[in-house]
């Protein structure tokens, strides 16, 4: 079946990989992106690009006239530090603009919404490891609050309006096209410094842990929920906990070079531990086991 799909944030790191996968399925794909962090060069040539932000009138008009079957919503303000500095601005993009988008999708006949949520940011500090979908939601940053709020709004639309909605709670995603600037991609930032023979900075002690999942595994998750009948909330992670210090060591091994690193102040709103149990979606969709970190790092470095 050929679907007509809108991917917001489809010029960005993760969204552009999802667009590629949809295009390979033979689907008609439109990308909505304001290019503030995304790039035209990431956009598949067989997809249509509309340059606008999700909070703009043009985005709502596109939805109302587009005849879309599926909306995959990846556009977001993704910097935790920005959300801490200005929670209201973060909420304008990540909650209010998103709600307008969801409402327009409902009114225009969209059948399914797939939302790029966040596992670590939504769950907060873990009460148990790894964190599964039943783990209490206790975000410690405005960014996490926003992601958790949209998850709940999507549950409302699913239960009350019978709109098929899926929230994919990502672990820390890494891979080709990840930006080396900003705060959203520690793997890309550290790898970029390492390969350029520039000193790297690890915020805090480096003992803080994350679950690093390769972008190809994230794409498989998006395809599974886009094609299948799998509404609800699902984690997308590996279940493997890795400290930032361990990540730095693994990057040096994967690149075959030694780098220089120092430690700076810890970031406000950053939790100490996060690791997600992604087995529920893998079992429901028959997905393969996630790529081991060092193998993914080698693929990522080879692509740089």
Catalytic residues: 143
Using alpha carbons, select from 303, 280, 43 the residue that is nearest to residue 166.
280
Q: Where are the alpha helices (DSSP H) in the chain?
A: 13-24, 57-66, 80-85, 87-91, 98-107, 119-123, 142-161, 186-195, 215-227, 244-255, 279-285, 293-303
**Of the candidates 286, 176, 179, the residue with the CA atom closest to the CA atom of residue 223:** 286
| 3-state percent helix, strand, coil for the chain, nearest multiple of 5 | 45, 20, 40
CB crowding 218-253: b at 16 or more within 10 Å, else e: bbbbbbbbbeeebbbbbbbbbbbbbbbbbbbebbbe
CA dist., res. 20 & res. 1, Å (int): 17
Angle at 51 between CA 50 and CA 56, to 5 degrees: 105
SS3 52: coil
Are 189 and 195 within 8 A, CB to CB?
no
What is the three-class DSSP state of 132?
A: coil
Closest CA to 93 of 147, 39, 138, 51: 147
Residue 83 in tokens: 């959300």
| CB-CB neighbours of 175 under 10 Å | 25
């Amino acid at each position: 079946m050929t679907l007509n799909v809108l991917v917001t944030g489809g010029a960005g790191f993760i969204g552009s990989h999802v667009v590629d996968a949809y295009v390979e399925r033979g689907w008609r794909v439109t990308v909505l992106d304001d290019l503030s962090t995304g790039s035209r060069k990431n956009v598949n040539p067989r997809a249509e690009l509309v340059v606008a932000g999700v909070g703009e009138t043009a985005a709502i008009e596109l939805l109302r006239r587009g005849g879309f079957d599926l909306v995959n919503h990846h556009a977001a303000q993704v910097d935790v530090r920005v959300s801490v500095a200005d929670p209201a601005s973060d909420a304008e993009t990540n909650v209010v603009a998103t709600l307008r988008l969801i409402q327009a999708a409902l009114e225009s006949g969209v059948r399914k919404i797939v939302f790029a949520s966040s596992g670590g940011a939504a769950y907060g500090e873990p009460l148990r490891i790894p964190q599964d979908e039943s783990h209490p939601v206790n975000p410690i940053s405005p960014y996490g609050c926003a992601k958790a709020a949209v998850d709940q709004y999507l549950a409302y639309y699913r239960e009350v309006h019978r709109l098929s909605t899926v929230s994919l709670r990502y672990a820390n995603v890494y891979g080709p096209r990840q930006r080396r600037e900003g705060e959203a991609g520690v793997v890309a930032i550290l790898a970029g410094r390492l390969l350029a023979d520039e000193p790297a900075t690890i915020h805090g002690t480096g003992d803080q842990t994350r679950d690093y999942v390769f972008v190809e595994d994230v794409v498989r998750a998006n395809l599974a929920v886009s094609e299948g009948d799998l509404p609800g909330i699902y984690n997308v992670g590996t279940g493997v906990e890795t400290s930032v210090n361990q990540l730095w060591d693994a990057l040096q091994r994967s690149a075959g070079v030694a780098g220089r690193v120092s430690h700076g102040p810890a970031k406000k709103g950053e939790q100490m531990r996060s690791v997600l149990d992604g087995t529920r979606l893998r079992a429901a969709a028959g997905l393969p086991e996630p790529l081991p970190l060092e193998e993914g790092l080698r693929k990522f470095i080879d692509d740089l």
